[in-house]
Amino acid sequence: MVFGDRSGQDAAPGGDIHPAIGKPRPYHRTRFVMGSSERRMCAASTNQSNISGSCLCGTVCFEINGSFDSFFLCRCSRCRKGSGTAHGANLFASGATLHWLAGEAEVKIFKLPGTRHQRSFCMECGSALPDVQMDGAMLQVPAGCLDGPIWIRPTAHICCASRADWDVALDEIIMMNGPPG
C-alpha cells in the first residue's frame, strides 16, 4: 500500500506532513488548464475548472480554478479529530488556484505544533475550508465545503489501520433517506 500505516497508530506520525500530501508523484499526473471563460460568482459551478464553495454559516465563500488530482478518504487520527467523524474526505490539487470571494479574514489556519499538519476552518461556524499547503505547492480541499458537483471520485481509503473501532462494515447498517424518527 502506497499510503500504508507503518506506525500502527497513525499514518502521519510526528513531525511529518499528512500522508496524502507527502507523496509528490501522484499529484503531477494532471495539470490545470484555465478555461476560456472565467466566472467570478459565489454559486455552484458545473465546470470542473471552476468550482465554488462556502462554509456552513455563509461567511466564507471561495472559488477554485483548476482540476483535482486525487481524492482521499483518510482515517488517520488527525483527520478523525479534525472532521469529528470516521474520516476526512479531502481533494488535492497541485495546479489549482484558490480565490477567497468573501470572509477570508474569518478563516483560521490551525497548525499542529511540532508537525507540518494543518487545516483551515471558519472561525464563526467551524466548517472545514480549503488549505494551501507545502508552501503553495498543494491545495487541500475538504469535499464537504464544495457547493458544486465534482467529477473526480474518491481515489482510495487511506490510513485504514487507524480507523475508529466503530468504523466497521458501515455499508451494512440500515440506510434512511432522511433523519430518524
Rule CB under 5 A: say whether 125 interacts with Zn ion. yes
Residue among 49 and 82 whose Cβ is closer to Zn ion: 82
Rule CB under 5 A: say whether 76 interacts with Zn ion. yes
Q: Which of 42, 57, 134, 150 binds Zn ion (CB under 5 A)?
A: 57
State the minimum distance, in angstroms, from the CB of residue 125 to Zn ion.
Answer: 3
User: Which residue, chain included where needed, has cell 507540518?
Assistant: 116
Rule CB under 5 A: say whether 59 interacts with Zn ion. yes
Rule CB under 5 A: say whether 124 interacts with Zn ion. yes
Residue among 74 and 139 whose Cβ is closer to Zn ion: 74
Q: Which of 51, 122, 139, 141 binds Zn ion (CB under 5 A)?
A: 122
Given a contact cutoff of 8 angstroms between Cβ atoms, the answer to whether 166 and 75 are in contact is no
Residue among 59 and 67 whose Cβ is closer to Zn ion: 59
* AA letter at 129: L
Q: What is d(CA 20, CA 174) in angstroms, rounded to the nearest whole number?
A: 31
Cell of 14: 510526528
Q: Other CB atoms closer than 10 Å to residue 62's CB: what's the count?
A: 24
Q: Which helix (H) or strand (E) holds 91?
A: strand 88-93
Sign of CA dihedral 79, 89, 56, 37: positive
By three-state DSSP, how is residue 117 classified?
Answer: coil
Taking CB under 5 A as the binding criterion, the range among 1-9, 44-52, 68-76, 166-174 that sits at the site for Zn ion is 68-76
- Which residues of this chain interact with Zn ion, rule CB under 5 A? 55, 57, 59, 74, 76, 79, 122, 124-125
